[in-house]
Amino acid sequence: MSKSAIVTRFAPSPTGFLHIGGARTALFNWLFSRRNQGTFHLRIEDTDRLRSTVEAVAAIFDGLSWLGLKHDGNALFQSRRQDRHREIAEQLLTNGNAYRCFATEAEVAGARDAAKKANRPLLFDSPWRDADPARTPDRPFVVRLRSPRTRPVEVTDAVRGAVRWPAETLDDLVLLRSDGSPTYMLAVVVDDHDMGVTHVIRGDDHLGNSGRQALIYQACGWTTPTFAHLPLIHGPDGKKLSKRHGALGIDSYRAMGYTPEAMRNYLARLGWSHGDDELFTTDQAVSWFDLKGIGKSPSRFDTRKLDHVSAHHIRSGDDASLLDSLADWLAANDKEPLSETAKARLRHGMPVLKQQAKRLPDLLARGEFLLSTPPTPDLTELAGQLNTDAKSLIALARTLIDRFAEAAWTRENHDALVGDIAVRADLKPARLFRLLRSMLAGIESKSAPSVHDMLSLLGRRESLKRMAAAVPESV
């Protein structure tokens, strides 16, 4: 293992599902570690016990595994590391980089209100920062970091460049709450350090945190990792993605019938680019990925482009795995699983079905004609649509059956036959195709493939059977 081994991590809070933005963050971390033969860790930030549930944690595992983003080693639960976090806080207290603050919450709030009125940064300047440790009151306290007040804090971000904050805008952040529990700020830094994380790739909403966290790294004497803050994903209206935009969780996209491969492609291209490449495989993304390709501005989620990417991956997908994906989709939506014969038929038709599908369920809609015998078409109704009468339509159908029955079952023959019959009947071939379509897949079949494809997929025997069934016995 090289000394410069890269370690990344994805550290979601379990809030109910794997957010689409979180999924992209995970993907970038995964891509970056794979690209560099590094390590990709998963850490569950479950220190907010009220909001963290086993279901929420399971949703994250499910989402990641469906997306194919496997983490190395075991997932780490932040809540189980509180002793370690406290230990660091104690050290900081001992070496003077932190202090006990006995200010009440009301005092802090009052100071902030005053700062706001005076148009100053909302920081709280604790009177206990320089108090005599011997003269401390006997009441609850928090442990605060003693931030340097003279120099600005600077962080170098791999996508943003140098970012700095004036010293007076950063207050002494709380490390340990008055009940002794560690705060998020402390926990993140300690965990990232202990896990050996070299690159913190996360959402833009953490950019401000990186300055504060840098202060903790400095106080601990640790080297800060490289930060890379990803611009957020917005809804189609440019506002932060929220419930009113519809699907937020990766599970929703799974339920809609997008494949993991397509989601990876679309998500990777949202906020990251490799020249003009739009459609690519995951292997390609891995070999191309770099932090330089990450954009700076937020991007909007566009489901129509997602559809296009999805269609491409279905079209170029492997028939057998497409069938597996379809089975997964059925299961994810609590639908009845495919029977063995249904599987065999869809598998047989897959080369055709996948040509025009945007999402997995389209495969099923296209292939419906293969799975069940269509209802007998009402030729009277069809005659109405074709602006002719039922009687001549039936005659045409019979001719079609007779001629098809005696010719070899090829597309060329079918074309020639239809052309010939059309000329004799003084009709446009299009009408005969409409008639054939109705006989093979039902009069309402809008989503079935072309007549030629159906003829070929169904074969001579089944096709002729359906055609015959469509014509009334006695007229």
Partner RNA sequence: GGUCCCUUCGUCUAUCGGUUAGGACGCCAGAUUUUCAAUCUGGAAAGACGGGUUCGAUUCCCGUAGGGACUGCCA
DSSP-assigned states of every residue in 135-194: G--SS--EEEE---SSS-EEEEETTTEEEEE-GGG----EEE-TTSPBPHHHHHHHHHHH
CB of 352 to RNA, least distance (A): 10
Burial of 190 (0-12, 13-18, 19+ CB in 10 A): buried
Chain positions 407 to 446 lying near RNA, rule: CB under 7 A, are 428-430, 433-434, 437, 445-446
CA dihedral 355, 356, 358, 362 (to 10 degrees): -110
Is the Cβ–Cβ distance between 19 and 263 less than 8 Å? no
Q: Which of 8, 47, 265, 310 binds RNA (CB under 7 A)?
A: 47
Query: With respect to RNA, which residue has the nearer C-beta, 287 or 450?
Result: 450
Q: Is the Cβ of residue 174 or residue 350 nearer to RNA in the bound state?
A: 174
Nearest CB to RNA, comparing residues 332 and 371: 371
Least distance (Å) between residue 56 CB and RNA: 11
DSSP state of 19: B
Stretch that binds RNA, among 69-77, 191-199, 355-363, 395-403 (CB under 7 A): 355-363
Tell me: does residue 124 bind RNA (CB under 7 A): yes
Residues forming beta bridges with residue 234, ordered by sequence position:
240, 300
User: Site residues for RNA, window 358-397 (CB under 7 A)?
Assistant: 358
Work out how close the CB of 6 gets to RNA at its nearest, in angstroms, rounded to a whole number: 22
Rounded Cα–Cα distance for residues 375 and 241 (Å): 45
Distance of CA 100 to the CA centre of its chain: 44
238 part of the interface to RNA, by CB under 7 A: yes
Least distance from RNA to the Cβ atom of residue 125, Å: 12
For residue 57, the minimal CB distance to RNA (Å) is: 12
- Which of residues 450, 459, 465, 472 is near RNA by CB under 7 A? 450
Our finding on whether 244 is near RNA (CB under 7 A) is: no
Distance in Å, CB of 90 to RNA, minimum:
17
Q: List binders of RNA among 13-42 (CB under 7 A).
A: 13
Please, which of residues 143-182 interact with RNA by CB under 7 A?
160-161, 163-166, 169, 174, 177-179
Helices (H), 316-359: 319-332, 340-353
H-run or E-run covering 234: strand 233-234
Between residue 66 and residue 95, which ones bind RNA under the rule CB under 7 A? 78
Catalytic residues: 243
Looking at residues 316 to 335 of the shown chain, list those that interact with RNA (rule: CB under 7 A).
none
Residue 356 makes contact with RNA by CB under 7 A: yes
Least CB distance to RNA at residue 353 (A): 11
Question: Are 348 and 372 spatial neighbours (Cβ–Cβ below 8 Å)?
Answer: no
Q: Are 264 and 68 in contact (CB under 8 A)?
A: yes
Task: Please identify, using beta-carbon distances, which residue of 104 and 380 lies nearer to RNA.
Answer: 104
User: Measured over all CA atoms, what is the biggest interatomic distance in the chain, rounded to whole angstroms?
Assistant: 111
**Helix (H) or strand (E) segment spanning residue 226:** strand 226-230
The per-residue DSSP string of 376-415 comes to: PP-HHHHHHHTTS-HHHHHHHHHHHHHHHHHS-S-HHHHH
Give yes or no for residue 343 binding RNA (CB under 7 A): no
Q: How far apart are alpha carbons 391 and 398 in whole angstroms?
A: 11
Residues 283-312 contacting RNA, CB under 7 A? 293, 295-300, 302, 304-305, 307-308, 311
Footprint of RNA on 175-204 (CB under 7 A):
177-179, 183-185, 204
Number of residues binding to RNA, judged by CB under 7 A: 83
